[in-house]
Amino acid sequence: MSQCLNPDCLHINPDSTQFCQYYARKLRRCLRYRAIRILGKGGFGRTFLAVDEDKLSQPPCVIKQFYPQDQGTDRIEKATPPFSWQAEQLDKLGRHPQIPELLAYFTEDSQQYLVQEYIEGRDLGKVSETEGKFSAQEIRNVLAQILPILDYLHQYQVLHRDIKPENIIRCTDSKLILVDFSAAKYLSNTPNLSLEPPLVRRDMLP
């Protein structure tokens, strides 16, 4: 299925449809990214599970749509800079093996979008619901993986500001990935991203 990305529509269409049956707007973004369903939403936008149809394997990805709930001009002007900073931040920080990689950043149909790699796994909130409370050792294991990520972010003057179980994904190999930087904030208006992050990827970790 294909989900319309018009905030006032969100109609679910058949896969073969190129334009929304209700809104008559094209469904694919950048002629390649097709949204399937909503993963979540917040004060500044929505997140969609999507596929990249420009690649033969059509791998899954995540589309983040910038859509402030309060559409007033002042609100948009205040919200837009953090969104642009988020794209710059993820372009660099996404090279870290435990932060999703930024795949694209663009504006289309007067909407701004981020496209990130899709992380296969379950967030720790769902893990806790199905497996029960974490043991002391499991909590230590989580901290051992997450604290170095936060230290890495702080070196670049970035505060995540939304650390919670739902924003930590456990992959099938037990690696933890920190996601959702929509609330992230720089400690200054001129973030220090001059240093190159490590080029190691998750499949290179022990």
Q: Pull the structure tokens for residue 184.
A: 């992230």
Residue 162 falls in the annotated catalytic set:
yes
15, 162, 180, 203: the catalytic one is 162
d(CA 179, CA 58) in angstroms, rounded, equals 22
Read off the DSSP letter of residue 197.
Answer: P
Please say whether the beta carbons of 37 and 48 come within 8 A.
Answer: yes
Neighbours of 190 (CB within 10 A): 8
User: H or E stretch including 154?
Assistant: helix 136-155
**The residue to which tokens 């296969």 are assigned:** 120
Question: What residues act catalytically?
Answer: 162
